[in-house]
């Protein structure tokens, strides 16, 4: 738990360094790095322009938190933004804190919004938010499905996290929850990590470590128990239990967050799936461009944590993922500095405030 400013700053530094050291200059060529920084600056300017008088982005604690996190993680330094602007973002997020520890303005998506909110508040380095961060951590832990809700380790939902309440758990919410707990230095010995691993294992298409009858053996990850994705995007047709890129990125990163070694067969199987099926033109496995910007962010997180500069795909082609991800995102940026998913509206990616946050954070991660 956080006790003071020093602890907050140490936690932020630890989170930033997780998985791999900051990229050496050679990991991204100089021209691409310069274009990426320009794109980040333009994206952040767009996000600042969307801040309302009350400090929020679309009156959403989650969107406000993502914008704030993007601003604070700028490789050029958060000092480019006035402290008053940062304080307004943080104050709005804090104003949505509830007695149960959740940070959200409505009884929906409580776990997800709380996770991104405590991550942003901790990143400010302001000790006055420490109690809210600690309460948010406890809330997230309380949403994990286990014995208190009548589930046993043999159940497929066990160890999972959903959007809040009684919703079905999924790998995306687990990834966001674990990432927030890691970023805010939650106790690494707490049972949440071991329980989460049981759920994560059951989402991977690897029968050696997944005891579910539907499990395949391609090494990728499915979205939720049974693999069904409740996407609003009707163009996406995802078979039950099918692996696809965005959730495989989230699943592999969850393994690393939990502490599974990169040499572990589960990590290696997921890495092989991602690199074999590598593309930045679609969310491979969905036959669509559903949640592309979520994918870019999750892909940048897991590749950075895995720590390899390059990989070889199924066709024998070598890829520098940092250069290619940066080039792709720069090519998709709009003249006003924003990004938006014009091909699929699932999970609000048709809103530039969200897509821009994901894109900026993916670029920031690639530059580390």
| Rounded mean pLDDT, 284-300 | 95
Query: Which of 13-22, 32-41, 50-59, 91-100 bottoms out in mean pLDDT, i.e. has the lowest?
Result: 13-22
* pLDDT confidence of residue 225: 85
**19 pLDDT above the threshold of 60:** no
| 233 has pLDDT over 50 | no
Per-residue pLDDT at 236 exceeds 60? no
Q: How confident is the model at residue 16 (pLDDT cuts 50, 70, 90)?
A: very low
Instruction: Return the pLDDT at 9.
Output: 42
pLDDT of residue 166: 66
Q: 19 or 71, which is more confident?
A: 71
> Is pTM, for the whole model, over 0.85?
yes
CATH 3.40.50.20 assigned to domain 5-366? The reply is no
Residue 13 has pLDDT above 60, yes or no: no
The average pLDDT across 283-307 equals 96
Comparing 33-37, 95-99, 343-347, which segment has the lowest mean pLDDT? 343-347
Q: Comparing C-alpha atoms, which of 274, 267, 365 is closest to residue 322?
A: 365
* Residue 292, pLDDT above cutoff 60: yes
Q: Which of 34, 84, 92, 42 is nearest to 66 (CA)?
A: 92
DSSP of 193-245: HHHHHHHHHTTBS-TTT---TT--SSS-B-SSTTS----S-TT----TT---H
Q: What is the pLDDT of residues 89-115, one digit of tens each?
A: 999 999 999 999 999 998 778 999 999
Instruction: List CB contacts of 160: < 8 A, sequence separation 6 or more.
Output: 144, 145, 168, 169, 170, 173, 174, 196, 199, 224, 225
Of all residues in the chain, what percent carry a pLDDT higher than 70? 89
Please tell me whether residue 310 adopts helix, strand or coil conformation: strand
Condensed to tens digits (0 to 9), the pLDDT of residues 144-181 reads 999 988 999 999 999 999 987 667 899 999 999 999 99
The whole-number pLDDT of residue 84 equals 92
Residue-level pLDDT at 217: 96
Pick the range with the lowest mean pLDDT from 79-88, 181-190, 194-203: 79-88
pLDDT tier, 52 (very low <50, low <70, confident <90, very high otherwise): very high
What value does the mean pLDDT take over residues 274-280? 96
Spatial separation of the C-alpha atoms in residues 333 and 364, rounded to whole Å: 15
Residue 237 has a pLDDT of 54
């Amino acid at each position: 738990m956080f006790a003071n400013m020093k602890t907050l700053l140490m936690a932020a530094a630890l989170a930033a360094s997780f998985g791999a050291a900051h990229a050496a200059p050679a990991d991204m060529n100089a021209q691409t790095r310069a274009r990426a920084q320009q794109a980040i600056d333009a994206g952040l300017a767009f996000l600042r322009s969307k801040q309302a008088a009350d400090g929020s982005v679309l009156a959403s604690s989650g969107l406000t938190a993502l914008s704030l996190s993007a601003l604070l993680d700028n490789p050029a330094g958060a000092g480019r933004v006035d402290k008053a602007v940062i304080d307004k973002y943080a104050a709005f997020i804090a104003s949505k804190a509830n007695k149960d520890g959740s940070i959200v303005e409505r009884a929906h998506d409580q776990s997800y919004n709380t996770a991104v909110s405590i991550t942003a508040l901790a990143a400010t380095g302001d000790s006055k938010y420490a109690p809210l961060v600690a309460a948010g951590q406890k809330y997230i832990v309380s949403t994990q499905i286990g014995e208190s809700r009548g589930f046993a380790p043999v159940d497929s939902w066990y160890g999972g996290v959903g959007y809040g309440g009684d919703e079905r758990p999924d790998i995306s919410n687990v990834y966001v929850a674990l990432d927030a707990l890691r970023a805010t230095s939650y106790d690494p010995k707490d049972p949440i990590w071991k329980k989460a691993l049981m759920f994560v294992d059951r989402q991977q298409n690897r029968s050696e470590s997944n005891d579910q009858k539907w499990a395949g053996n391609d090494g990728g990850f499915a979205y939720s128990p049974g693999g069904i994705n409740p996407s609003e995007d009707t163009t996406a047709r995802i078979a039950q239990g099918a692996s696809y890129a965005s959730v495989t990125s989230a699943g592999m990163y969850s393994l690393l967050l939990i502490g599974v070694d990169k040499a572990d067969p589960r990590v290696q199987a997921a890495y092989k799936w991602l690199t074999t099926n590598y593309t930045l033109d679609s969310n491979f496995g969905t036959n669509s461009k559903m949640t592309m910007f979520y994918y870019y962010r999750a892909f940048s997180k897991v590749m950075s944590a895995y720590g390899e500069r390059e990989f070889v795909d199924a066709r024998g082609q070598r890829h520098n993922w940092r250069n290619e991800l940066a080039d792709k995102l720069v090519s998709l940026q709009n003249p006003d500095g924003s990004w938006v998913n014009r091909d699929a509206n699932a999970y609000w990616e048709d809103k530039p405030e969200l897509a821009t946050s994901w894109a900026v954070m993916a670029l920031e991660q690639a530059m580390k």
